Amino acid sequence: MTEAARWFVGGPGGEAPVVSIVILTWNSRALLAACLEALPAATASIPTEVIVVDNGSRDGTAELLARHHGLVTITNATNRGVAPARNQGLRRARGEMVALLDVDTVPAPGSFATLVARLRAAPRVGLVGPKLVAPDGTLQYSCRRFPTLADKLLRRLPARCGAAVTDDVELRWWDHAGVRPVDYVIGACQLIRKTALDEVGLLDERIFYGPEDVDLCLRLHRAGRGVEYVPEAVVVHLERRV
């Protein structure tokens, strides 16, 4: 077994993982390779398991995964959608905390260690998300307030008015410089306390692709579990659309 593969199965003492990272992929071999390559530095010394759910890829992803013997892999014959496939990974997770991580991300060194430290320091917080940036370092507005029907309607107004609504929903007026309670963070990278997830349940499998991340954060709030944005943790996000 290679050193990289040995890392994926947890700490040197064989202890249970602190974090289980669930990555969903579909015909994204190159992106998956880059994401996996970044994870050892991103998790530092944290015992971690990585669970990859392959949603029916036909691009050689299976061959890539076969080279990482320490991964937990789940292979679907067809594309089951985001929420059902991620739930497959969440059900297999053994960690104290579980992370949902998009395949088109590259977590920075130490990013997961920072997120883990924040969850441990804030026992009533159920979910934290990092600062997401584009490959050129541009900030992505990934923490937001919950959308409303009025927001959707107002965005159809002339450009200036619609932009003002978007700016408000996406908290663009805020400098994103410190930890902040928010309504939700987008699902490109979310670290969730396992006990909080047990309280509110898994992702809604009626949602094939869409606002399952918003729904999860809403249920956490209703259960008295906060959601926080933690900008000291940085993750590069390509925002690939499929």
How much is the pLDDT for 154? Answer: 55
How much is the pLDDT for 34? Answer: 97
* Torsion of the alpha carbons at 187, 191, 98 and 184, rounded to the nearest 10: -50
Q: How confident is the model at residue 239 (pLDDT cuts 50, 70, 90)?
A: confident
162 within 8 A of 152, measured Cβ to Cβ: no
From the list 108, 130, 116, 111, the residue with the least C-alpha distance to 187 is: 130
Pick the range with the lowest mean pLDDT from 78-92, 138-152, 190-204.
Answer: 138-152
Spatial distance between the Cα atoms of 22 and 93, rounded to a whole number of angstroms: 8
pTM of the entire predicted model: 0.89
In 93-211, where does DSSP find H-type helix? 111-121, 149-154, 159-169, 194-200
Spatial distance between the Cα atoms of 158 and 160, rounded to a whole number of angstroms: 6
Q: What is the mean pLDDT of the chain?
A: 89
Residues in CB range of 128: below 8 A, 6 or more apart: 115, 118, 119, 185, 190, 191, 227, 228, 229, 230, 233
